[in-house]
Amino acid sequence: MHKLNRYIGRTVAAAILLVLVVIVGIDLLSTLIEELKEVRGDYGFVSVLQYIGMVAPGSLYKYLPFAALVGCLAGLGSLASSSELVVMRAAGVSTLKLVMAVVRPTLFITLIGLFVAEYIAPASQQIAESQRALALQKSASSHSRHGMWHREGRDFMHFNAVQPNGVLYGVSVYRFDQERNLVQSTYASRANYLAGGWTLEDVQQVDFVGDAAQQQFFSELEWESDLSPELLNVLVLDPEDLSISGLWRYASYLKKQGLNAGDYELAFWNKLLQPITILGMVFVAISFIFGPLRDVTMGFRIFVGVMVGIVFRTLQDILGPSSLVYGFDPIYASVCPILICLLVGGVLMSRRN
Q: How far apart are CA 122 and CA 91, in angstroms?
A: 47
pLDDT, tens digit only, all 353 positions of the chain? 678 888 888 999 999 999 999 999 999 999 999 999 888 777 888 989 999 999 999 888 889 888 888 888 888 888 877 878 778 877 887 877 888 888 888 889 889 988 998 889 888 888 888 788 777 765 444 444 557 888 888 899 998 878 777 788 889 999 998 888 899 999 999 999 987 789 999 999 999 987 788 999 999 999 988 888 877 777 777 888 888 888 888 888 778 877 778 888 888 988 888 888 888 888 888 888 876 666 667 677 777 777 888 888 888 888 888 887 887 888 888 888 888 888 877 777 776 65
- How far is 199 from 119, CA to CA, in rounded Å? 29
Single pTM value for the model: 0.75
**Which CATH architecture group holds 152-235?**
Sandwich (2.60)
Cα–Cα distances in Å, from 162 out to 170, 204, 255, 257? 9, 20, 23, 21
Dist. CA 352–CA 85, nearest whole Å: 14
Contact 165, 184 (CB under 8 A): no
What residue ranges of the chain are covered by domains with CATH 2.60.450.10? 152-235
